[in-house]
Structure formats: C-alpha cells, structure tokens
Amino acid sequence: MRVAVIGLGAMGLPMAQRLAEEFSVSAHDVNPDAMGRATESGIDTAATAAVAAARAEIAVLIVRDAAQLDMALFGSAGAAETLPRGSVVVITSTVGEGPLLDAQARLQLQGVHCVDAALSGGPIRARSGDLLVMVGGPIEARNRAQPVLDALASTLCIVGEAVGQGQQLKTVNQLLCGIHTAAAAEALALAHSMGLDLDLVLETLSAGAAASFMFADRGPRIAEQLRGQSPGLRSRLDVISKDMGIVGATARRSKVFTPVAAAAEQLYRAGEVAGRGAEDDSVIVKLLADQSGRGVGRVGGK
C-alpha cells in the first residue's frame, strides 16, 4: 500500500516512521528542517504535498490547525491536486468538526474519500503504534484506511459513520487534557512554593488518586521549568491553546457551561500573549510562579 504523510512535526515524523515499517511512504512538510529530519531517519520525502500524494492509496494528514489543513489539501501544490479517485484522506489533526466537513465535501467532488481519525497519545506512543484513534467516517472509507489505522492505533474507537464524530470525541478528550495540564502546573507551583522536593511530589502523587496521564507526562517538564531549566519541546503551547479554543467554541454552540475549561483556556492564551506560544506547554507554570517558585510572578515569570 502506498501512503502519503503530510506533516512531519512532533507527531507526524514518528507516525511516518511507524507507517514506513509496513507501507511505501512518501512524506512532505513545508518546513525544510522537518524534511531534513525525516530524510535523516530514512523516510522518503517529496518536494510538495501534491508529489507525495500522486500515487497514494491513503493520505494521512498531521497538521497543526484548520488553516494548515486547507493549505495542505487545497493550496498551491496541495495533495488534492493529485490524489487518485478512490483514495482516502485520513485527517488526524485537531481542527474541529466544521473544517472536517468542509474538506470532506470538497474531496467528494473529485471522488476522494475522507476519514476523521483524531489522535491522542503523544510522539513516543505514535512511534510504537500505541495511539488512541477516534474515528468517524463511512464504513467503505474506513475499511480502505483500516490497515493504516491498525498500524497507528493500539486502541481504535469507531465513534460513528459520520466524518466529524472523531473530532467531537477528541474535543472532549482535549477538554480533559487541557484541564489536567493546567492543574498539574498549579499543583507543582504550589508544591515548589512550599519547598517540597518536586521529584518526591511527582513520584508520590503518581501512585495515588491524583495521578493522571498528563500529570505523569507534563509533570517532569513542569518541574524543570520551576528549577529554571529548559525542557525539550514536545507539546507546543499554541497547540493546546488552539485545542482549548475549539473546546470553548463547541461548548458555546452546545450551550454547555464549562467554567474549568474556560479558566484553563485563558491560562494558555495568557502564555501566548506573553510570547511563549512556540515553547513547550509546561511553560505555563511560569505564569503561576516566579522563576524561583517562591510566589506568584508576573506573566512570563520575569
């Protein structure tokens, strides 16, 4: 099976590496550095999304937001220019239900199927095919994409027959992830302000009722931030901010009151205003405590 992978960022590259173990993969990213990392890792790269998709049976898109999705598919030298009739576009990006439905309608005009396959799990799990994948789409399209979905997922949830339903469940997932990350930052900022050993806090609380995936995953990087260190970039702040924006917009349309999610969204937006959008999202702890962790600091922790 020939698979095009469009988007080689934090999630896209390990997903491409995973898929290349089983399929013939051609990959593209607009970022030359990302293309270089893919080539160094043994992935065949293409100069444009259109070239990558030219003979693909399945095209997997892993881009940041709705604007990038539109560009990757329908922009100049976008994948839609060359996708064969009967091929399937698997959209894994968290962009909300509306952009998925728009993309599906445009792809249908040229005989291309669409599957909504929202992801959760992070880069390490992406590399090993251990992701949670939440799928919405017609059964024919899902069946064609099944080998790719099986290669990426350890847990495959079929949400429904409609494109967009995977995004709906991912929105609920991101509400929890966004809240849990913000809560982890608050908890560790408080612990640090009292002089507690952060390694001890992480180890102890991870063994009890306060444990969560986000606490275990983000906690060590939040602790590094509190110690004045700079953890490696794994999850950009502007991405979780975008996701929580989708949560807020969905809640407003649904007329559901989500005050805790709204507070978390404002914290991420404050981080973007402070110029930290491209940093790891653990940096939000610096909005809660100064660099020594001994009190509430100004935005940016300066």
- Is 242 catalytic? The answer is no
Long-range contact pairs involving 255-262 (C-beta distance under 8 Å, separation at least 24): 258/175, 260/179, 261/175, 261/178, 261/179
- Other CB atoms within a 10 A radius of the CB of residue 105 amount to 11
Alpha helices in the chain (DSSP H): 12-20, 32-40, 49-53, 66-74, 97-108, 123-127, 139-152, 165-193, 198-205, 213-226, 237-254, 259-273
> Residues 170, 255, 286, 302: which is the catalytic one?
170
- Structural tokens at position 230: 């700079």
| Beta-carbon contacts of residue 279 (< 8 Å; ≥ 6 apart) | 233, 236, 237, 271
Active site residues: 170
